[in-house]
Structure 1
Amino acid sequence: MSPPNATILGLETSCDETAAAIGRGPDQIASGVVYSQHDVHARFSGVVPELAARRHMETIEVVVAAAMRKAGITWPDLHAVAVTRGPGLAGALLVGVCFGKALAYALRIPLIGVNHLEGHLASAWIDEPDFPTPCVGLVVSGGHTHLYLVAAPGMYQLIGKTLDDAAGEAFDKAATMLGLGFPGGPAIDRIARPGNPQAIRFPRPYLKQGSLDFSFSGLKTALLYFLRDQASAKQPKSVADIAASYQEAIVDVLVEKAFRAVRRYRVGSLSVVGGVSANSRLREALVSRSRSAGIRLALPPTIYCTDNAVMIAAAAQQAYARGEFASWDLETDTELPLPVNVFPQAQKHRAMVAGRR
């Protein structure tokens, strides 16, 4: 019989953070350690996959040892090892999966493969274990901007996604254009604070169609053209005003689409997770809108918004309770989707949308 609160080692190496965490239940975190590679990739204005994989190999043992030490446990205390198997960078994922496989095999304990996106969604329950479902979950990060109808942990239906660039990528590219460095999201958040978000009216892409999908490539192009014209302007706008106005356009789209989904699927709760959910202006707008709409909002603490292993351990606790274990031939998948579960609400909406075409 499974222990009610299994002690699980979670590993996260999908991109440029090497992370390990010890979880003793969905909301009981014994430790969490993250080694960031931002200094490695900053001079390239983006993540270099080969460098990321090499740094994971150099640091994963140290990070795991630190997580074990902080939790005050030894190998025999573990009930399972959980690894991010996708989506993400191929080489980076492989480091974590190979390490996790070898460790679980040596300890003769179960191996759990976790979808990185499910890890982000699970972060909603870390500080709020009673957060209700069904709910709408918005995953917004450097590589993903997806809306899900969440019936329960492990039961998801994709109801909206980006058609081109993710919101996090839009922030990163804008930061590069503005000379703010990498990673772009925190840089824009920081410099936008004293700026006027109404100084420039950037487009709100794909907002009026009534769709739940996203598109940010046009917004990036609008910024590029604005900066080109700005070079010859008699009264150029400040970088703070440009950043604040650009950020406001992204925030408006994310907030409107999220609450549109809440209304459409008639649910009373919304979780917003992923690296971009750490953005201070987005959090402010979400809190304000949720209060006025009477919707319960889950916003994980900012330390659990960016890639971390605490969320992987939390998702693994849910999988452990369901008895979902991986075989020893577990493989990585750079494009791994969340398992599709079709709910009556989602079926009805899709049929309605299809009838309009």
Structure 2
Amino acid sequence: MPRIIMGVESSCDETGVGLVRLHDDGTVELLADEVASSVDQHARFGGVVPEVASRAHLEAMVPTVRRAFDAANLTLSDVDAIAVTAGPGLAGALLVGVSAAKAYAAALDVPLYGVNHLAGHIAVDTLQHGPLPTPSLALLVSGGHTQLLRIDDIAGKITEIGSTVDDAAGEAYDKVARVLELPYPGGPPIDKAAKEGNPKAIAFPRGMTGPRDPAFDFSFSGLKTAVARWVEGAQARGEDIPVADVAASFQEAVADVLTAKAVRAATESGIGTLVISGGVAANSRLSALAAQRCAEAGIELRVPRPRLCTDNGAMIAALGAHLVAAGVAPSPLDLSADPALPVSTVCV
């Protein structure tokens, strides 16, 4: 059985390379996690520019691979299998990672696994908290995705039970940050500003929470618009914008909806473990409110440390290790990227 698995991630604006060791008991040990981000190159545009991201991946791939192997004190010859994000993501960015992983797999004559980026966000939790109980519920919250997923088998059976119908939570953070003239990406600066604000100062709407709305779907477009309209109104009246209060009230609305729906889904499904992952999982209010509500409902909460929540190669290597342990067949070397890969497809 392969022991050292290399993971390559390039779905958006981070070039990630991770190395893990698969032990005989099925546990996975993190050996290296190196990331090169191009976020600064996108900041002046207020969002990720696909062509810029692809070029950054090309420039960063080999240096990031070298740093990962140096950190793990390993060489390429130690690798037993390679996992790479095949989707979802930006087409050009994905192709850089897939092409690199195919080249390494062919040169080293090791199996290749084209894996799902979203499943990787769930698998990464096992690097910190150990094997994932089944079934588990995952709340995946990032710049491009907001989903509730039932996990019956991380290596092969993931079912979506709810998703956003418009903006993802992370996308709403970026847009609200722009309205408040805060830096991009919007998550960290809004979280920081909110700590000084009153979350009850402004009653922003809780989208998709009406009695006739889908119980486990999300909508943040209306909330984003409500914030923009509130700020525009205050400016029209000549008032100073209370950035901290707006940030805190917006953040409370997001965390309230996310945690309420996740806990309700777990309770109604009889699931005792909730995993929150993705970039927004690093948000302080989301994790605090989730901990409070999970404790009240008797649900175990697992949230990876912030470094593991954002896009990285470790999560892809971890998922690859679980696929290897489960005996899943490798992907063919003519593997192609799929920007719209559904979460139900864990390995291509």
Q: After superposition, where does 1:251-266 map in structure 2 within 5 Å?
A: 251-266=255-270
Secondary structure at the counterpart of residue 128 of structure 2: coil
Match of 1:320 among 307, 319, 324: 324
Alpha-carbon RMSD across the aligned residues, in angstroms, is 1.3
1:306 aligned partner: 310
One-letter amino acid matched to 1:163: V
2:218 aligned partner: 214
| Superposition deviation, residue 232 in structure 1 | 3.0
Deviations 1:3-57 (A, max 9, x none): 4xx1011000000001101110253011110111111111111110000000100
Task: Quote the Cα distance in structure 1 between the aligned partners of 2:176 and 2:238.
Answer: 22
1:333 aligned partner: 338
Q: After superposition, where does 1:283-298 map in structure 2 within 5 Å?
A: 283-298=287-302
| Superposition deviation, residue 132 in structure 1 | 1.5
Q: After superposition, where does 1:70-109 map in structure 2 within 5 Å?
A: 70-109=71-110
1:114 aligned partner: 115
Task: Quote the Cα distance in structure 2 between the aligned partners of 1:73 and 1:197.
Answer: 48
| Distance change (3 Å), C-alpha of 1:340 and 1:58 | closer
1:345 aligned partner: none
**Runs of 4+ more than 2 Å apart:** 232-237
| Superposition deviation, residue 291 in structure 1 | 1.4
| Superposition deviation, residue 339 in structure 1 | 2.0
Task: Quote the Cα distance in structure 1 between the aligned partners of 2:84 and 2:17.
Answer: 9
Task: Quote the Cα distance in structure 1 between the aligned partners of 2:153 and 2:109.
Answer: 30
- Whether the 8 Å CA contact 1:199–1:241 is kept in 2: the answer is yes
1:204 aligned partner: 206
Secondary structure at the counterpart of residue 317 of structure 1: helix
| Superposition deviation, residue 128 in structure 1 | 1.2
2:15 aligned partner: 18
Task: Quote the Cα distance in structure 2 between the aligned partners of 1:188 and 1:97.
Answer: 34
- Whether the 8 Å CA contact 1:138–1:273 is kept in 2: the answer is yes
Secondary structure at the counterpart of residue 312 of structure 1: helix
| Superposition deviation, residue 211 in structure 1 | 1.2
Task: Quote the Cα distance in structure 2 between the aligned partners of 1:60 and 1:294.
Answer: 43
Task: Quote the Cα distance in structure 2 between the aligned partners of 1:235 and 1:52.
Answer: 39
Deviations 1:181-206 (A, max 9, x none): 21111111111111110000000001
Task: Quote the Cα distance in structure 2 between the aligned partners of 1:292 and 1:54.
Answer: 47
Secondary structure at the counterpart of residue 179 of structure 1: coil
- Whether the 8 Å CA contact 2:116–2:345 is kept in 1: the answer is no
Deviations 1:42-100 (A, max 9, x none): 11111100000001000100000000111111121100111101000011000000000
Task: Quote the Cα distance in structure 2 between the aligned partners of 1:228 and 1:194.
Answer: 22
Deviations 1:267-309 (A, max 9, x none): 1111111000000110111111111211111100110001011
Task: Quote the Cα distance in structure 2 between the aligned partners of 1:340 and 1:116.
Answer: 10
| Superposition deviation, residue 207 in structure 1 | 1.4
Secondary structure at the counterpart of residue 227 of structure 1: helix
- Whether the 8 Å CA contact 1:27–1:127 is kept in 2: the answer is no
| Superposition deviation, residue 225 in structure 1 | 0.9
Task: Quote the Cα distance in structure 1 between the aligned partners of 2:258 and 2:146.
Answer: 9
- Whether the 8 Å CA contact 2:5–2:21 is kept in 1: the answer is yes
Task: Quote the Cα distance in structure 2 between the aligned partners of 1:190 and 1:214.
Answer: 24
Task: Quote the Cα distance in structure 1 between the aligned partners of 2:10 and 2:317.
Answer: 13
2:246 aligned partner: 242
Task: Quote the Cα distance in structure 2 between the aligned partners of 1:264 and 1:293.
Answer: 11
Task: Quote the Cα distance in structure 1 between the aligned partners of 2:135 and 2:262.
Answer: 14
Task: Quote the Cα distance in structure 2 between the aligned partners of 1:324 and 1:62.
Answer: 30
| Superposition deviation, residue 208 in structure 1 | 2.7
Secondary structure at the counterpart of residue 106 of structure 1: helix
One-letter amino acid matched to 1:307: D
The answer as to 2:224 corresponding to 1:224 is no
| Superposition deviation, residue 235 in structure 1 | 5.2
Q: Could you tell me which runs of 5 or more consecutive residues in structure 2 were left unpaired when the two chains were aligned.
A: none
Secondary structure at the counterpart of residue 256 of structure 2: helix
Secondary structure at the counterpart of residue 127 of structure 1: helix
- Using the size of structure 1 for normalisation, the TM-score is 0.92
- Whether the 8 Å CA contact 1:21–1:31 is kept in 2: the answer is yes
| Distance change (3 Å), C-alpha of 1:333 and 1:142 | same
- Whether the 8 Å CA contact 2:267–2:297 is kept in 1: the answer is no
Deviations 1:202-232 (A, max 9, x none): 0000113361000111111111110110113
Task: Give the % identical residues.
Answer: 47
One-letter amino acid matched to 1:239: V
Task: Quote the Cα distance in structure 2 between the aligned partners of 1:39 and 1:338.
Answer: 29
Paired residue total: 338
- Whether the 8 Å CA contact 1:142–1:169 is kept in 2: the answer is yes
Secondary structure at the counterpart of residue 113 of structure 1: strand
Secondary structure at the counterpart of residue 107 of structure 2: helix
One-letter amino acid matched to 1:67: A
Task: Quote the Cα distance in structure 2 between the aligned partners of 1:124 and 1:134.
Answer: 15
- Whether the 8 Å CA contact 1:158–1:340 is kept in 2: the answer is no
- Whether the 8 Å CA contact 2:36–2:64 is kept in 1: the answer is yes
